[in-house]
Structure 1
Amino acid sequence: MLNRLQESDIKLLRVFYAVASCNGFTAAEPVLRMQRPNISAAIKKLEERLDLVLCHRGRGGFQMTKEGEVVFQETKRIFNAFDNFVFNLKSLHDDYSGHITLVLMAGLPLSMHLAVSKAVKSTMKKFDDIHVNIQTRLYNEVEHVALSGECHLVISTYDMVKPESVTFHSVNHTCLGRLYCAPSHPLAKYKEGLPAGVKIGDYPAIGISGLSSANYIQDESRLAIQTFSDSFDGCMSAIMTGEYVGLLPDYMTKEQGAGLGLVPVGGGKMFEFSHELFVMNGKNTRLNPVLRHCIKELSYFIKESQK
Structure 2
Amino acid sequence: MALTSVSNVDLKLLSVFRTVAQCGGFSLAQAELNVSQATISIHIKNLETRLGLTLCQRGRGGFALTDDGQRVYDASNALFNHLEDFRSLVLGFETLVGELQIAIIDNSVFHPEFQLANVIRNFGQLDHSVDLSVHVSPPNSLEQMVLGGQAHIGIGYFPRRLAQLDYDPLYMSEMQLYCGQDHPLFDRDDPDISVSDVENADHAQRGYVSYDQLPENERQFNYAARAQNIEGLAHLVLSGQYLAFLPVHYADQFERNGKVRPLLSDTYSYTSCYEIIRRKSAARTPAERKFHELLISESIEHDLVHPDVPTR
Which category describes the TM-score, using the shorter chain as reference length?
Answer: 0.7 to 0.9
Shift of 1:102: 1.1
Instruction: Identify the residue that residue 290 of structure 2 maps to in structure 1.
Output: 293
Query: Taking structure 1 as reference, are residues 186 and 97 closer, same or farther at Cα in structure 2, changes over 3 Å only?
Result: same
Shift of 1:250: 0.9
Query: Taking structure 1 as reference, are residues 103 and 195 closer, same or farther at Cα in structure 2, changes over 3 Å only?
Result: closer
Distance in 2, Cα, partners of 1:297 & 1:94: 16
Instruction: Identify the residue that residue 41 of structure 2 maps to in structure 1.
Output: 40
Of 188, 207, 210, the residue aligned with 2:208 is 210
* Corresponding residue SS for 2:46: helix
| Percentage identity across paired residues of the two chains | 21
- TM-score calculated relative to the size of structure 1: 0.83
Could you tell me which runs of 5 or more consecutive residues in structure 1 were left unpaired when the two chains were aligned.
none
Shift of 1:259: 4.1
State the AA in 2 paired with 1:169: D
- Answer whether contact 2:85 2:285 (CA < 8 A) is retained: no
- List per-residue Cα deviations over 1:31-51 (Å, max 9, x = no partner): 323232211111122233344
Shift of 1:104: 0.9
| Higher mean C-alpha displacement, 128-137 vs 78-87 | 78-87
* Corresponding residue SS for 2:281: coil
Query: Taking structure 1 as reference, are residues 100 and 184 closer, same or farther at Cα in structure 2, changes over 3 Å only?
Result: same
Instruction: Identify the residue that residue 275 of structure 1 maps to in structure 2.
Output: 272
How many residues matched?
302
| Higher mean C-alpha displacement, 137-146 vs 250-259 | 250-259
Instruction: Identify the residue that residue 182 of structure 1 maps to in structure 2.
Output: 180
* Root-mean-square deviation (Å): 3.1
Could you tell me which runs of 5 or more consecutive residues in structure 2 were left unpaired when the two chains were aligned.
305-312
* Corresponding residue SS for 2:27: helix
Instruction: Identify the residue that residue 28 of structure 2 maps to in structure 1.
Output: 27
- List per-residue Cα deviations over 1:19-62 (Å, max 9, x = no partner): 12112323323432323221111112223334444334456654
Shift of 1:105: 1.4
* Corresponding residue SS for 2:244: strand
* Corresponding residue SS for 1:145: helix
Of 242, 256, 264, the residue aligned with 2:262 is 264
- List per-residue Cα deviations over 1:132-184 (Å, max 9, x = no partner): 12112211222333333332211212333x3443222223x211111111112
* Corresponding residue SS for 2:223: strand
State the AA in 2 paired with 1:6: V
Distance in 2, Cα, partners of 1:224 & 1:78: 43
Q: Does 1:145 align with 2:145?
A: yes
Distance in 2, Cα, partners of 1:183 & 1:42: 54
State the AA in 2 paired with 1:39: I
Instruction: Identify the residue that residue 134 of structure 1 maps to in structure 2.
Output: 134
Distance in 1, Cα, partners of 2:71 & 2:113: 28
Shift of 1:208: 1.2
Query: Taking structure 1 as reference, are residues 10 and 194 closer, same or farther at Cα in structure 2, changes over 3 Å only?
Result: farther
Query: Taking structure 1 as reference, are residues 112 and 60 closer, same or farther at Cα in structure 2, changes over 3 Å only?
Result: farther
State the AA in 2 paired with 1:291: E
Instruction: Identify the residue that residue 168 of structure 2 maps to in structure 1.
Output: 169
| Higher mean C-alpha displacement, 3-12 vs 39-48 | 3-12
